[in-house]
A = this chain, B = another copy of it.
Amino acid sequence: MGVGHSSVSLSLDPISIAAFTAEPKPKPSCFFNTHCKKSVFPTKKNSLFVGFSLKFESLNCGKVAGEMDTEKGIDVANKSILDFHGIDDRLIRKMEFDALVWSSLHGLVVGDRNFQRSGQVPGVGMVHAPIALLPMSFPKSHWKQACELAPIFNELIDRVSLDGKFLQDSLSRTKKVDAFTSRLLDIHSKMLEMNKKEEIRLALHRADYMLDEKTKLLLQIELNTISSSFPGLGCLVTELHRTLLNEYGEDLGLDSKRIPSNTAVGQFSEALAKAWTEYNNPRAVALVVVQTEERNMYDQHWLCTMLKERHNVRTVRKTLAEIDREGQLLPDGTLLVDGQAIAVIYFRAGYAPTDYPSESEWRARLLMEQSSAIKCPSISYHLAGSKKIQQELAKPNMLERFLENKEDIVKLRKCFAGLWSLDDLDIIRKAIDKPELFVMKPQREGGGNNIYGNDVKETLLQLQKEGSEEDAAYILMQRIFPTVSPTILMRDGICHKEHAISELGIYSAYLRNNEKVIMNDQCGYLMRTKIASSNEGGVAAGFAVLDSIYLT
């Protein structure tokens, strides 16, 4: 849900730390990229921060799609409240050492991309997660705003998910040009035909936002309804930063209490446990659907560990192919995997085309959807999080179709960036005229490959010339320009002083059983920070790290 994205596309699909880990040589243009080899960042010369060294025009966040204002003049230099580059080198080295030790002892780790088995076997080839050494400043008012939005978005997604016709109609053009969405829609159609009802519905979302430097508006990048990553490691980064400020806060003039507490993993495990309870089969377990290789496995292990230790719910981890092999549907709808009844299915795979290399995986997805197990997410929730649906919901009067509360609608709309389909000729003209203010996003799920700068213009002109249905494969978004701050990032045991931009993710959980809403809460957060620099050759040399926030 929510629309928009950033100037450097911090938007990413609902995963994954793989950028640091999966590629033998990480693509310089990736933020957190994924196993599906997508490139989230543009790779063209200077495309990362084009305009940042210049004065440029900016969109004033059309809250209603189609509205568009432009304003002049952004100078992002020297806007940081916390100038970490001014910190004494000796102090940095101390904090760096402490941060590395803390991360190692407290499980703030990922699989090392340089170690072959690190995505398959736990306990081998571990390296500290890429992290910011110190938290990123963030205005308290915007933080509160983001938190308040969480339950409203939860409710919206639930309502949208129940409107099967809306989902099918909105995605009908996308279906023709995107095979992945098409397969998801087929499963969705089957469920509609079967009149399959999901009485118990569980959502574990993460809504991603950026703060637009010029307008000071909190703008939503996307809402992840499947496989929201980093609830585990995100909490640990918060704890690490608090520990460092407890120790060095006086030297730095920073107060650890201004880092908000982060309970994402605890609340996610609570939501899963409550769903398990609603399912009401004490012998059933939770099924975690995983990729065949997962270097971000420890994030998942934290959640499962908490689920076991706090709530005594066991989990089993299976790939889609394994579920196809071992899965079985009982006449009463019970899903058995390897003979074990499944109460809750938690997807940490299945969001990208590459997760379905054969028919086997699609069979598994269908099997699960047909079962009585609680899916996190159901096929409807999954589709409701797609870009096209976000764009549809940004249309005038669309929110009113799903929500009654006027105040809630105003709050949601306030965080919508401009977002348009390519049948809006007026916007197409503006984008050809000022392509630096737009981003083209391919519709296809697990996508990335956003188009920036002059490529926007060229692609639009090409599509106009061809006159095919291909334009349905894209949406056009307002380009967001977040604040650039001096930061200290750590990867592979090495400290980097860089200028960086950040994206705030707000976790939320939603659980209902028929008319009874059991849980509808904001659940902690994740800050991700990415280098905002490009080298002389024009190739973005950036990488992204896990971060927390310091309220200002």
A interface residues, Cβ below 8 angstroms from B: 97, 100-107, 109, 112, 115, 117, 121-128, 247, 298, 301-302, 305, 308, 492-493
Contacts and interface: CB of A to CB of B under 8 A. Distances in A.
Instruction: Tell me the number of copies of this protein.
Output: 2
B104 A105 contact: no
A437 B112 CA distance: 48
Contacts of A123: 100-101, 103-104, 127-128, 493
A302 B106 CA distance: 10
A481 B105 CA distance: 37
A117 B125 CA distance: 13
Contacts of A106: 107
A97 B124 contact: no
Nearest to A301: B101
Given A101-B305, A302-B105, A127 B127 contact: no
A117 B493 contact: yes
A319 to B, nearest CB: 15
Contacts of A103: 123
Given A121-B100, A122-B97, A105 B301 contact: yes
B493 A104 contact: no
B100 A125 contact: no
A240 to B, nearest CB: 11
Contact of A109 (B104, B305, B492, B493): B104
Nearest to A99: B123
Contacts of A104: 107, 109, 122-123, 126, 298, 301
A115 B492 CA distance: 12
B109 A122 contact: no
A103 B97 CA distance: 21
A274 B521 CA distance: 46
A313 to B, nearest CB: 12
12 contacts: A100-B123, A101-B122, A101-B301, A103-B123, A104-B107, A104-B122, A104-B123, A104-B298, A104-B301, A117-B493, A123-B127, A125-B127
